Amino acid sequence: MNFLPVAQRELRVAARQTRTYGVRWLAAAVALVIVGYTRLYLEGWGVGGGSGRGLFFTLVGLAGWVCALGGARLTADAISREKREGTLGLLFLSHLSGLEVVLGKLVAQAALAFYALVATLPVLAIPFLAGGVEAGELWRALVGLTNALFFSVSLGLLVSSMTREPRTALGLATLGALGFWLALPAVASLLTARGTGGGIPGVVLACLTPATVPGSSAAFGFAAPNPWVALAGSQGLAWGFLLVAARFTRRSWRERPAGAGRGRWRSGWRDLVLGRPEVRAARRAEVLERNAFLWLLVRRRWKPLWPALFVGGVVTGMELGWWYFGRINAEGFYWSCFVPGCLLLHVVIKFWVAGEAVAGLVAHRREGTLELLVTTPLAVADVVRAQFLAVRRQFGLPLLVVGLLTLGGGMVPVWREGARDGGLMLVTAVAAVLALGADTFTLVWLGTWRALAARRVRHAAGGTAFRVLVLPWVLFILLTPFLGVGGGGPGNALLFWGFLGFTSDFLWWQWAEQQVRERFRSEAARLHEGLKPGWLERWTDGQGARREAGG
């Protein structure tokens, strides 16, 4: 009997894909670029022999976050995709157990990420050769990164076994990773800081998060009283995730008979999500009168609740941090809890908007009903207006709360310091709020276009977020040392960041608006004919045609 036949089959498929080998080269190349750039950056700022140690922890921190978020998202759709395609039950016809299926998916899906991590390990040794890093720190970092990757892929498989839709799986996996790498160790640190009364719960929580294991603790800023106990605790929790995922996987593929109790449960859940029939009919008539396409985006009445709960949870965490720690050390609370909390709110809300901006159109594109839109008298302007109305309905209140919270935080240094630094923080807060509004506006426009033009529907939201949110920061980090912006103080850096961010928003908005207004109907009608091949596929086809012609 073959050992883990699912893994063998998936690995054979992956061995025939070019990206399996390209990811290794890409990971090593990116790590080398980061090393060279960080070295150049440190030398430009006049940092001496200690740069090897700073470079090492910079690389470990970046690799840790890639393992934490990338691993969870990599396996978040591994089992749920089998459910949607109806192939999960076929695996159990071969008398496989749920644990064998889960372990097979674990090996197959995590192999790509593990090979990328192995490709970056020699790069991590460069700071060790440069000096300032001990051999024990190097191998502890390797242990911490491997543990973080295993924990994150196990968490992703657990989420995938309990969900069916890809967006739900990716969202829950990302939130789970942030919870275990940020929220859980932060709560543990606050409880431990209160003294003996909250020390024991703090120690227990610190031993259940991979952010406190050897190697990861220095990179993520959290530590457990005994890091090796934390390593054992995170390993035990990860294996527990796999066992629970195996149980859910074994039970979720079966078609259960629709009995009276199950029918009542489904009816009650539908009424809870969409509303009772009479309420649903009245709401449908009201929304259709306002905008016909809007009804397709706002049918689930509880969608605005989730961003509000997220913002409320982060704000509650800030309040708990003030109650536990801020009253004792207000300055430390501001920089270690309030400012990171605001950054987390800005980042998550923006990426969430990017996902929702493409969700409605992508769903209809996947179902093959988007081309029917071109046969209706609905104008393109009505579709775009519905997109903005849906985003405002779901994120209007959270965006307002985040903006007011950011402005309030920017005023605190003015009251406490009242001079130059306080004014700079206030200007930074105002710029962050303006960037929040500009990015949201641009994401809706570009997301509307990318939902139609992306070659793969799962890349629509990622491509939108990368162009608007990630690319300006990449340019800022790459260009700052060469332009000498950092040498002029934080004020010049803020001006340069604002120039790149708002210029990027303006250019992407203008380009996306033009594409949507001119090519929306043609792209929607073209989807049923199939998407055109990418540049790599066109190049390989051309090479093959030339070889055949020459032969």
Binning pLDDT at 50, 70 and 90, where does residue 47 land?
Answer: very low
pLDDT at 293 over 60: yes
pLDDT at 254 over 70: no
Q: For residue 76, which of 132, 185, 155 has the smallest C-alpha distance?
A: 155
Q: What is the pLDDT of residues 442-463, one digit of tens each?
A: 999 999 999 888 766 667 888 8
Contact (Cβ atoms closer than 8 angstroms) between residue 184 and residue 203? no
Q: Which residues contact 66 (CB under 8 A, 6 or more apart)?
A: none
Chain mean pLDDT for the chain: 79
- Is residue 283 a part of any domain in this protein? no
Question: Which residues in 467-505 are b (16+ Cβ under 10 Å) and which e?
Answer: bbbeebeebbeeebbeeebeeeeeeeeeebbbebbbebb
pLDDT at 51 over 70: no
Contact (Cβ atoms closer than 8 angstroms) between residue 127 and residue 138? no
The reported pLDDT for the residue numbered 265 is: 63
- Is residue 269 a part of any domain in this protein? no
CB atoms within 10 A of CB 540: 12
Report percent pLDDT > 70 for the chain.
81
Dmax over CA atoms of the chain, in Å, equals: 81
Q: What is the pLDDT of residues 345-362, one digit of tens each?
A: 999 999 999 988 988 888
Is 149 in the same domain as 86?
Answer: yes
d(CA 123, CA 418): 45
The reported pLDDT for the residue numbered 270 is: 63
- Is residue 525 a part of any domain in this protein? yes
pLDDT at 256 over 60: no
d(CA 108, CA 100): 12
Binning pLDDT at 50, 70 and 90, where does residue 52 land?
Answer: confident
Is 225 in the same domain as 296?
Answer: no
> 267-281, 311-325, 437-451: which has the minimum mean pLDDT?
267-281
Binning pLDDT at 50, 70 and 90, where does residue 312 land?
Answer: very high
- Is residue 32 a part of any domain in this protein? yes
- Is residue 335 a part of any domain in this protein? no
Is 351 in the same domain as 244?
Answer: no
Is 77 in the same domain as 135?
Answer: yes
Task: Give the structural domain span for 412.
Answer: 292-301+346-530
- Is residue 285 a part of any domain in this protein? no
The reported pLDDT for the residue numbered 424 is: 80
Is 297 in the same domain as 204?
Answer: no
CB atoms within 10 A of CB 290: 12
- Is residue 543 a part of any domain in this protein? no
In angstroms, the Cα distances linking 423 to 332, 416, 437, 493 are 19, 11, 22, 15
> 91-95, 268-272, 365-369: which has the minimum mean pLDDT?
268-272
Contact (Cβ atoms closer than 8 angstroms) between residue 406 and residue 429? yes
Is 32 in the same domain as 81?
Answer: yes
- Is residue 355 a part of any domain in this protein? yes
Q: DSSP letter string over 458-486? A: GGHHHHHHIIIIIHHHHHHHHHHHHHTTG
Average pLDDT over residues 112-131: 82
> 89-98, 266-275, 386-395, 473-482: which has the minimum mean pLDDT?
266-275
Is 454 in the same domain as 512?
Answer: yes
Q: What is the pLDDT of residues 69-120, one digit of tens each?
A: 888 888 888 888 888 877 777 777 777 777 888 888 888 778 888 888 888 8
- Token duo for residue 92: 């159990």
Is 11 in the same domain as 120?
Answer: yes
Is 246 in the same domain as 357?
Answer: no
Q: What is the pLDDT of residues 179-191, one digit of tens each?
A: 888 888 877 777 7
Is 368 in the same domain as 516?
Answer: yes
Domain count, the chain: 2
Binning pLDDT at 50, 70 and 90, where does residue 337 land?
Answer: confident
**Residue 501, SS3 per DSSP:** helix
The reported pLDDT for the residue numbered 449 is: 92
Question: Which residues in 295-316 are b (16+ Cβ under 10 Å) and which e?
Answer: bbbbbeeebbeebeebbeebee
Q: What is the pLDDT of residues 478-507, one digit of tens each?
A: 787 666 655 556 777 788 889 999 999 999
Is 217 in the same domain as 296?
Answer: no
Is 296 in the same domain as 237?
Answer: no
**Residue 527, SS3 per DSSP:** helix
